[in-house]
Chains A and B, each alone.
Chain A
Amino acid sequence: MEITTRDLWTVVHGMGFGALFMFAFSGALAELYRMTTPGAGYQPSPREQVLFRFYLGAMVALAWGAVLSGAYVVYPWYRAAPPAGADLADYPKALLVSTRRTSAWHTVGMEWKEHVAWLAPIGMSMVAFVFLRYGRAMSRFPELRLAALGFVLTALVATGVAGGFGALLNKYAPVRGGTVIHLVDGERGKADDAAPPLRP
């Protein structure tokens, strides 16, 4: 079982940062709603408020990790221009735009994803700051609470678009190559003698 460095970075970007960030939205929305509802009988303890501040801080770190690793690590491999005669399978963008059947995965999917994803870290940073600054007192400022919930929902949509298209793009034109990392030896099969090694 082998994996390349580019595969690994794609996993770190999409699963390590993106998917973890996505999973955290349900908790953020529920706690933000619960802790800041005006007149609610529920009073979060100081410890719960501190924990939620850490939770939002972790979300901010994951969101920035996702967009920075995407824009500066994975995306350059995706959009690299192929030299003449190169195998397009190693150049995802060139592979996608080489035919009408797949070009929209780039012109709509990637071009939407690469920009809209940035709304998430900006919005979540604002929400984390506002909760850090006001905590439970947000319930006294209805518009503050509305804005925070609105930006969290928008960040969720932006992350959904980016994550969804990221998964599909990686299905149709995966980012490949880099140094091969050998993980474990598998059982020997009939095709072992004829099987080409993983593309470097």
Chain B
Amino acid sequence: MTQLPPSGPDAAAPAAEAADGLTNGSGGAAILAAGIGCGALGVLALAADASPALNHLMSVYRPSGALSGVSTSAVLIWLAAWWGLERRWSARTVDLRRITLVAFALLGVSLLLTFPPVMDLLQGK
């Protein structure tokens, strides 16, 4: 019977797993979650800047304004993503190359979206 090739995060699993059983899944989960958290920060910062309603909603601590909600939400998204991914991947070997690429892409998005001239450009200001 023909064995199907692995798909998903295991698709190109590296052969780095050693005899000690240490897999790269836990590291992959932390890296992707960090990328997701950073990306969420950028998207939420842009959204709160563009939408007065969301800006008001994000002002969970009035003296700090929308920054309080944007940063708290991004941190919660990061921790939730980390928790979920860690549960799924901690004992597995995952395609770390693809995960790292996605995490760097999200990090790039966050760097762009937190830069005010880019925020203004995207909003047509």
Interface residues of A (CB under 8 A from B): 67, 71-72, 75-76, 79-80, 107-108, 111-112, 114-116, 118-119, 122-123, 125-126, 129-130, 133-134, 137-138, 140-144, 146-148, 150-151, 154, 157-158
A112 touches B114 (CB 8 A): yes
Interface residues of B (CB under 8 A from A): 14, 16, 18, 20, 22, 24, 26-28, 30-31, 33-34, 37-38, 41-42, 45, 49, 61, 63-65, 67-68, 70-71, 74-75, 78, 96-97, 99-100, 103-104, 107, 110-111, 114-117, 119
The A contact surface, by secondary structure, is helix
A80 touches B100 (CB 8 A): no
Q: Closest 8 CB pairs between A and B? A: A76-B63, A126-B34, A143-B96, A115-B114, A143-B100, A116-B114, A144-B27, A147-B31
Q: Write out the residue numbers on chain A whose beta carbons fall within 8 Å of the beta carbon of B110.
A: 119
Given contacts A126-B33, A141-B14, contact A108 B100 (CB under 8 A): no
Nearest-neighbour CB distance to chain A for B74, whole angstroms, equals 7
B96 touches A144 (CB 8 A): yes
Nearest-neighbour CB distance to chain A for B115, whole angstroms, equals 6
Q: A71-B64, A151-B34 are in contact. List 18 more A-B contacts (CB 8 A).
A: A75-B63, A76-B63, A79-B65, A108-B117, A115-B70, A119-B41, A119-B110, A122-B37, A122-B75, A123-B107, A129-B30, A130-B30, A133-B30, A134-B27, A141-B24, A144-B96, A154-B107, A157-B111
